[in-house]
Structure 1
Amino acid sequence: MTDSNVYRTLLESTRAIPWRIEWATMQFTYIGPQIEELLGWKQASWLSANDWADRIHEEDRQKTVEFCISQSQQGVDHEADYRALTSDGDYVWIRDVVHVVRRDDGTVEALVGFMFDITERKQAEEKILQLQHELEVLSYRDSLTGVANRRMFDTLYPVEWAKARTSGHPLSLVVIDIDYFKQYNDHYGHVQGDACLRLVAQSLDSAASRSQDLCARLGGEEFVLLLPSTDAATARSLAERCRKLVGQKEIAHARSGVGRLVTISMGVGTIIPGDQDDPSVFLDRIDRRLYQAKSAGRDRICDVEA
Structure 2
Amino acid sequence: MTVAASHDPRRRRPWAWWILPLAALGLVMAMGWGAYEVYQDREKRYRHQVESALRVANMLQAQSVADWRQRRLAEGAALLDDSLFAQAVARWQATPAPEREALVRERLRTMVERAKYTAAYLVSPDGQLLLSPAGPANGQLPLPARQVLQRALDQAEPAMVEMHRNALFAFPIFGVLAPVFDGVRPVAAVWLVSDVRTTLYPLLDAWPSASRTAESVLVERDGDEVLYLSPLRHRFDEPLTLREPLAGADNDDPVQRAALGARGTLYGRDYRNERVLAMVSTVPDSPWLLISKMDVADAFTDAQRREWLALALLASLGLLWAGSMAVLWQWRAWRRERALKTELERNMRWLENAQQAASVGYFAYDAARAEFFMSRMASAMFGLPADGYMTLHQWVAMLHPEERERVLDIHGRALSGRAPLRTQYRILRPSDGQMRWIEVWGEYGSDDEAGPARMTGTVQDITERKHAEEQLARYRAALEERVRLDALTQVANRLALDEVVAQEWSRAERDGSSLALLMIDVDHFKAYNDRYGHVAGDQCLQSVARALSSGAVLRASDLVARYGGEEFAVLLPGTDATFAAQAAQRLCEAVNALALEHSANPQGDRVTISVGVASLRPRDVAAPPGQPRAGVDAAQALFQQADAALYRAKQAGRNQVAIYEPGRMDVLHAPAPVPQDLHDL
- TM-score bucket of the superposed structures, by smaller chain: 0.7 to 0.9
User: 1 CA distance for matches of 2:490 and 2:640?
Assistant: 25
Larger CA deviation: 174-183 vs 208-217: 208-217
Q: Which residue is 1:270 aligned to?
A: 615
Residue 488 of structure 2 is aligned to residue 141 of structure 1 = no
Q: For the residues of structure 1 that align with 2:436 and 2:539, how far apart are their CA atoms?
A: 48
Pair 1:228-2:573 in alignment: yes
Q: Deviations over 1:62-100 (max 9, x none)?
A: 544443344444433221123445554554443111323
Tell me by how many angstroms 1:221 deviates: 0.8
Shift of 1:18: 1.5
Match of 1:287 in 2: 643
Verify: 1:77 aligned to 2:414, yes or no: no
Write the mapping of 1:188-227 to structure 2, written as runs, cut at 5 A: 188-206=532-550, 207-227=552-572
1:52 CA displacement:
3.3
Native 8 Å contact 2:366 2:453 kept in 1: yes
Correspondence for 1:298: 654
How far apart, in 1, do the equivalents of 2:434 and 2:542 lie?
A: 45
How far is 1:194 from its partner?
Answer: 1.1
Equivalent residue number for residue 9 of structure 1? 349
Compared with structure 1, are the counterparts of its residues 23 and 286 closer, same or farther at alpha carbon in structure 2 (3 Å cutoff)? same
Q: What is the CA–CA distance in structure 1 between the aligned matches of 2:412 and 2:499, rounded to whole Å?
A: 43
Aligned to 1:180: 524
Deviation at 1:250, TM superposition (A): 4.2
Whether contact under 8 Å (2:611, 2:657) holds in the other structure is yes
- Following the alignment from structure 1 to structure 2, what is the Cα–Cα distance between the partners of residues 117 and 279? 51
Q: SS state of the match for residue 453, structure 2?
A: strand
Structure 1 gaps of 5+ residues are: none
Q: Cα offset for 1:285?
A: 1.7
CA displacement at 1:255 relative to structure 2: 3.5
2:652 alignment partner AA: A
Q: How much does 1:116 deviate?
A: 1.5
1:101 corresponds in structure 2 to 445
Partner secondary structure for residue 144 of structure 1? coil
Q: TM-score of the superposition, structure 2-length normalised? A: 0.40
Q: Matches of 2:588 and 2:418 in 1, distance apart?
A: 70
**1:94 aligned counterpart, secondary structure:** strand
Asked if the contact 1:19/1:28 (under 8 Å) is kept, the reply is no
3-state secondary structure, aligned to 1:303 = strand
* Cα distance in structure 1, aligned partners of 2:615 and 2:651: 21
Contact 1:75–1:102 (8 Å) recurs in 2: no
Distance 1:239 1:71, change over 3 A: farther
C-alpha spacing 1:166/1:31, structure 2 compared with 1 (3 Å): same
Partner amino acid, structure 2, of 1:253? H
1:169 to 513, 524, 528: 513
Distance 1:92 1:266, change over 3 A: same
Deviates more, 1:142-151 or 1:243-252: 243-252
- The code of the aligned residue for 1:190 comes to H
The CA deviation string for residues 259-290 of structure 1, in whole angstroms up to 9 with x for no partner, is 44433221111111234274334312211111
Which amino acid in the other structure matches residue 293 of structure 1?
A
- Structure 2 match to 1:29: 372
Partner of 2:362: 18
Task: Report the Cα distance in structure 1 between the residues aligned to 2:544 and 2:591, rounded to whole angstroms.
Answer: 6
Instruction: State the TM-score, normalizing by the size of structure 1.
Output: 0.80
Paired residues of 1:174 and 1:266 also in contact (CA < 8 A): yes
Task: Answer yes or no: is the 8 Å Cα contact 1:251–1:261 preserved in 2.
Answer: yes
Matched, 1:67 2:422: no
Please state how far the C-alpha of 1:177 moved relative to its aligned partner.
Answer: 1.1
Per-residue CA deviation, residues 210-265 of structure 1 (Å, 9 max, x unaligned), is 44433221111101123333333443343334334434444343443444443322
Kindly report which structure 2 residues correspond to 1:230-245, keeping only aligned pairs within 5 A, or say none: 230-245=575-590
140-149 or 122-131: bigger deviation: 122-131
Which AA in structure 2 matches 1:271? L
Three-state SS of the structure 2 residue aligned to 1:146 is coil
Structure with larger Rg: 2
- Kept in 1, the 8 Å contact 2:649–2:656? The answer is yes
8 Å contact from structure 1 (residues 175, 223) kept in 2: yes
d(CA) in 1 for partners of 2:541 and 2:403?
48
Distance 1:157 1:92 in 2: 43
* Alignment check: 8 A CA contact 1:165 1:275 kept: no
Give the RMSD, CA atoms, in angstroms: 3.4
Secondary structure at the counterpart of residue 269 of structure 1? strand
Percentage identity across aligned positions? 33
- Aligned amino acid, residue 76 of structure 1: A
Aligned length: 305
Please state how far the C-alpha of 1:143 moved relative to its aligned partner: 1.4
